[in-house]
Amino acid sequence: MVRGILASLPEIPVQWVDRFGEDRKSETSKTLEVARFRGRFVKACPGTRFYNCCGYQILNFANQCSLGCSYCILQVYFPNSNVRLFANFDDLLQQLDDHLRTSRRKVHRIGTGEFTDSLLLDHLTRASELLVPFFAKQPSAVLELKTKTSQVDLLEKLDHRGRTIVAWSLNPPEVIDREEGTASSLEERLAAARRCQDWGYRLAFHFDPLLAYPRWKGGYAEVVDRLFSVVDPGVVAWISLGSLRFMPPLKAIIKQDHRGSTILDEEFVPGLDGKLRYFRDLRVEMYSRLKDLLLKVAPDLCIYLCMESNDVWREALGFIPAERGGLSAILDQKVLELLD
Ligand code: SF4
């Protein structure tokens, strides 16, 4: 993989080191760190016991992201702002294979977008060329590639057999401009989604984080309109809704590093997991509004809330996951329908 990356970047200076620096301030995030990872590549998503958790599993091939969203929680998780890529993909695929063969789960939903953007480095790593065909052979597992880029070129020729879902996080253009650094515009994300639809992929969308900026009602209504003017709702596997939440130390980072951000203009309360979030009534209002907009276009859409309690589910969506077997089972069932 390193040889492949260097072939794409022949002019780039390379330095071999025994250890990476961890001091955030001395780093410029202009360096790609490449390492051998000696830990577990596949892990359960760190949901919390206080909220409904979706049973997602994380495939972690890189830490950190250089797109620079103001609200990005990775700024707190990782002291170093460089992206660190774990290049020992042979080990990754071996562990993944062992995991899928020995796990007692009937269905696996696995994503690479938890600690980085799934497609940020794809043009360099060509990781999709390894992962998509690997998942194509799995009887009951899907890979979700979550991104805010439009770097989907390599997906075109891959034999995915419906087992890779390509997902975008969406926000109104004014939020993207102000809060999402160098991520692709809404138009570019939707055009990339359309290309993936044309190549036969299932799609997913994450309205996460929903931001309660002054014009949020009109802003999100426009996004939903634009989404379904480009994408066929029939190929959408699921849509998640999650309002902004963050660990308190992120506040100081936003103030210092994202001076144009208006996120902190709103009021927050600590949730049961210690993260700051909007007041409950506002969260419910945002979720209900989005749900109504989405279901008006496509009444059969699978919509779920990320990290919310039963009472918020009931009020916003009209049911709680336990009434339908639990959130994990609802999404697993959706995967089984897709794989049919
Ligand atoms: S795209 Fe995702 S991972 Fe990258 S900076 Fe934005 S929130 Fe963080």
**Pocket of ligand 1 contains residue 65 by CB under 6 Å:** yes
Centre of ligand 1 to C-alpha 305, Å, is 19
Q: Name the least confident of 21-35, 159-173, 291-305.
A: 21-35
> Residue 241 and residue 223: Cα distance in Å, rounded?
13
pLDDT digits (tens, 9 = 90+) for 182-207: 999 999 999 999 999 999 999 999 99
Residue pair 172/220 in contact (Cβ under 8 Å)? The answer is yes
> Residue 79 and residue 24: Cα distance in Å, rounded?
5
Which residue CA neighbors atom 2 of ligand 1 most closely?
117
State yes or no: pLDDT of 16 exceeds 70: yes
Nearest C-alpha neighbor of 75 from the set 213, 253, 204 = 253
Q: Is 52 helix (H, G, I), strand (E, B) or coil?
A: coil
| Bridge partners (DSSP) listed for residue 303 | 239
> Residue 267 and residue 166: Cα distance in Å, rounded?
33
> What pLDDT score was predicted for residue 115?
94
- Per-residue tokens: 331: 């999404």
Q: Are strands 245-246 and 57-59 parallel, antiparallel or unpaired?
A: unpaired
State yes or no: pLDDT of 7 exceeds 60: yes
pLDDT digits (tens, 9 = 90+) for 98-123: 999 998 889 999 999 899 999 999 99
State yes or no: pLDDT of 26 exceeds 60: no
**What would the mean pLDDT of 230-249 be, rounded to a whole number?**
97
Sign (positive/negative) of CA torsion 96, 129, 63, 259? negative
> Residue 103 and residue 98: Cα distance in Å, rounded?
8
Which domains are present in the chain?
A: 2-339 (3.80.30.30)
**Pocket of ligand 1 contains residue 72 by CB under 6 Å:** yes
Q: What is the DSSP string of 92-117?
A: HHHHHHHHHHH---SSEEEES-SSS-
State yes or no: pLDDT of 297 exceeds 90: yes
- Per-residue tokens: 256: 């210092």
Which residue CA neighbors atom 6 of ligand 1 most closely?
69
- Helix 186-198 and helix 216-230, axial crossing angle in degrees, nearest 10: 30
State yes or no: pLDDT of 220 exceeds 60: yes
Among 85, 148, 189, name the best residue to mutate to test ligand 1's pocket (greatest count of ligand atoms within 8 A of Cβ): 148
**What would the mean pLDDT of 157-167 be, rounded to a whole number?**
97
State yes or no: pLDDT of 25 exceeds 80: no
> What pLDDT score was predicted for residue 163?
97
**What would the mean pLDDT of 142-150 be, rounded to a whole number?**
98
> What pLDDT score was predicted for residue 28?
58
Centre of ligand 1 to C-alpha 245, Å, is 14
- Per-residue tokens: 269: 């309360």
**Pocket of ligand 1 contains residue 190 by CB under 6 Å:** no
DSSP summary character for residue 176: H
Residue pair 5/125 in contact (Cβ under 8 Å)? The answer is yes
pLDDT digits (tens, 9 = 90+) for 30-65: 899 999 999 999 988 776 667 777 788 999 999 999
Mean pLDDT of the chain: 94
Residue 307's H or E segment, with its range, is: none
